[in-house]
Structure 1
Amino acid sequence: MIKNLVLYFVLGCVAIFTTSCHKEFTKLQKSGTVEQKYKAAIKYYNEADYYYAGLLFEEISPLLKGDSTAEKTQFYNAYCNYYQSQFQLSSYLFKNFYATYANSPFAEEAFYMYAYSMFKDSPTFNLDQTSTLTAIDALQTFINTFPNSKYADNCTQNLRDLRTRLEKKAYEKAKLYYKTSNVGYPGLANYKAAVITIDNFAREFPDSPYNMELRYLQIISQYTLADNSIYSKQKERFEKAMSLYESFKDKYPTTTYDNELAGIYGKSQKGLTKVLEIEEKIKKAKEEYEKEQAALRAEAATESKD
């Protein structure tokens, strides 16, 4: 019971103190001068009360244009939003600060914080990555502009993190085409899309640890596409499946996929052999037909002379 009383007393004191602070802040907002608000905002900021500090900085910022305190007001206001995880707004404010005060001693830090805020706002790999691309551009621009900055190493690491995120997104996209493929319409088209997407992935991320798995899935996709294609497209597609397998073995001589892929390679050879046999039969049939037609024309010509 005593513990409960102590708890209630502490909570009551906190409530009284919070109410008192709120009243004091409201009074300052209504009747305080710009100078008083600026000093109070700095005090709130130094005490890590970024909510109240941000409200005051935001309020007085338009009133300080040309004033010596205008620069710090905008800079701290950007940080207030950053510390409250308002990363889109903080990136905008830091970028605007750099554009306005390019010669400021805070300019380099503001540019970095603009890029870093974009980095913090970048979503997980499974969401749209438009803002990730914007963040990459901002971080790279910072490194190009301030190559010797103390923030350069952080930017480089941030860039690696974001590119890994894009890599994971592209990997999942390629796998999704494979997972949603089937031999019926329209699922067969996804095998073709998987093959193309995996090629694109390998070009964009040549050193990715996902490449071996994706190349394995590409061979399966290409073989399945060939095996279920119309006759006129099978030769080219079986040949590509075999070519993909041979390239895979050159790059990855020993893998856990060896037995399965060797089986697919054998099936591709048989499929190609079957197609070539049919082509040969069609060729012979065409030659026989042309001979018959030539004989008939010759016979008709002889009869006309008679």
Structure 2
Amino acid sequence: MQNRRFIGILFSVLVVVFSSCSDFTRLQKKGTDDEKYKAAVNYYKKGDWYRSGILFEELIPVLKGSTESEMAQFYYAYTQYHQKLYSVSAQLFKRFYETFARSDYAQEAMYMYAYSLYKDTPNYNLDQSNTVVAMSALQDFINAYPESPFRQECTGMILDLRKKLERKAYERAKLYYKTSGFNIASYKSSVVAINNFQKEFPDSEYNEELAYLKVDAQYSLAKNSLETKQKERYQEAVEAYQALIDKYPNSKFLRTAEKMYETSLKEIDRIAAQEKEKEKLKTPDPNRPAKVTSAN
């Protein structure tokens, strides 16, 4: 009995689905532009973004120059947005506000262009080119409409995207540090990446850890360098340690960093003593008798 009831319900659903598909196909093939436009709007209001989008896409070229053209393009952009086709919706919203600059919907379209780009940004561990573009679009909107009700949301999104760039830069700096043991170039890249991060994100929560990693990278770089470059690089390790304790006097990394600092000072003194000894050997002893040469 229950199986029959289920089959009956399933059959009814299939009839409705096939009938609906048949009506939509018939509308596409034989419907007038006016019928298609009304149906597209009706599908839009029902949240049937796929069918609404198909009809609006077909209508836009033939509606060009008509009173319905503006709304058809605006609705079409939203159908793509609601289907999470954010890169497509971004371009459609951009085209709308550029084409209909005086439209009552131009401000909303510009916002939705930026918001679509925001939604399309990748995770922090992927390429962040789209994130930079989205931040620029959001800032452009704020500049164009400083009194907009969307202003605060845009500011929040910019901060959110900046956090993503911050995390990407942090992970990149750490990656160089993790691979530093393989070659001198990696040590150098690690130091450069950390310096760049500290300049770009001076208030980041990651800066304490990176300040310590910079000490470690500078120290390791000095230790693995040619003797002619060690003194200068140990001095840079000392400076990195001093920068760490100046900014983070109670850092949890101080004990480990202090060992590298003390070793660096000892190495600087050792190298300075060697240099002094070499200078002595180069300087003639004034008390030493002059060399006498016999005449032939």
Q: TM-score range by the shorter chain?
A: over 0.9
SS at match of 2:180: coil
> Aligned equivalents of 1:17 and 1:283: distance in 2?
98
Query: 3-state DSSP class of the match of 1:259?
Result: helix
What is the rounded CA distance, in whole Å, between the counterparts of 2:40 and 2:285 in structure 1? 96
Aligned-partner Cα distance in 1 for 2:287–2:46: 100
TM-score (norm 1): 0.93
| 1:43 alignment counterpart | 42
CA offsets per residue over residues 212-232 of structure 1, 9 Å max, x none? 001111100100100111111
Q: What TM-score results when the alignment is normalised by the length of structure 2?
A: 0.96
Matched residue, 2:261: 265
1:153-164 superposed matches below 5 A: 153-164=152-163
Q: How far did 1:7 drift?
A: 3.1
Distance 1:153 1:274, change over 3 A: same
1:217-275: CA deviation from partner (whole Å, max 9, x where unpaired)? 11001001001111111111001100110111010011211211111111111111111
Mapped to 1, the partners of 2:248 and 2:169 lie a distance apart of 22
Equivalent residues, number:
296
- Superposition deviation, residue 289 in structure 1: 8.8
State the shift of 1:278 in Å: 1.2
Runs of 4 or more consecutive aligned structure 1 residues displaced over 6 Å after TM superposition: 289-292
Q: 1:58-80, CA deviations, whole angstroms, 9 ceiling, x for partnerless residues?
A: 00001111100000000000000
1:255 matched to which residue of 2? 251
Matched ranges for 1:267-306 at <5 A: 267-288=263-284, 295-296=290-291, 299=292
Is the Cα contact below 8 Å between 1:122 and 1:132 reproduced in 2?
yes
Unaligned runs of 5+ in 2: none
Which residue type is aligned with residue 144 of structure 2?
T
Moved more, 12-21 or 86-95: 12-21
- CA distance in 2 between counterparts of 1:291 and 1:22 reads 111
Would you say 1:237 and 2:233 are equivalent positions? yes
User: In structure 2, how many angstroms separate the alpha carbons of the residues matched to 1:60 and 1:214?
Assistant: 56
How many angstroms apart in 2 are the aligned matches of 1:153 and 1:82?
A: 21
**Is the counterpart of residue 198 in structure 1 residue 197 in structure 2?**
no
Tell me, in whole angstroms, the C-alpha distance in 2 between the residues paired with 1:81 and 1:22. Answer: 20
On the 8 A contact 1:227/1:271 being kept in 2, the answer is no
Q: 2:104, 2:149 → 1: CA distance?
A: 14
Q: Deviations over 1:178-204 (max 9, x none)?
A: 11111x5xx222111111110000100
Residues 1-306 of structure 1 mapped to structure 2, 5 A cutoff? 2=2, 4-182=3-181, 184=182, 187-288=183-284, 295-296=290-291, 299=292
Percent identical residues:
45
The SS at the match of 2:269 is: helix
**Take 2:7 and 2:207, find their aligned partners in 1: how far apart are those partners?**
61
When residues 147 and 20 of structure 1 are mapped into structure 2, their CA distance, relative to the original with a 3 A threshold, is same
- Distance change >3 Å, CA 18–CA 230, structure 1 → 2: same
CA-CA distance at 1:8 after TM superposition: 2.9
**d(CA) in 2 for partners of 1:290 and 1:218?**
47
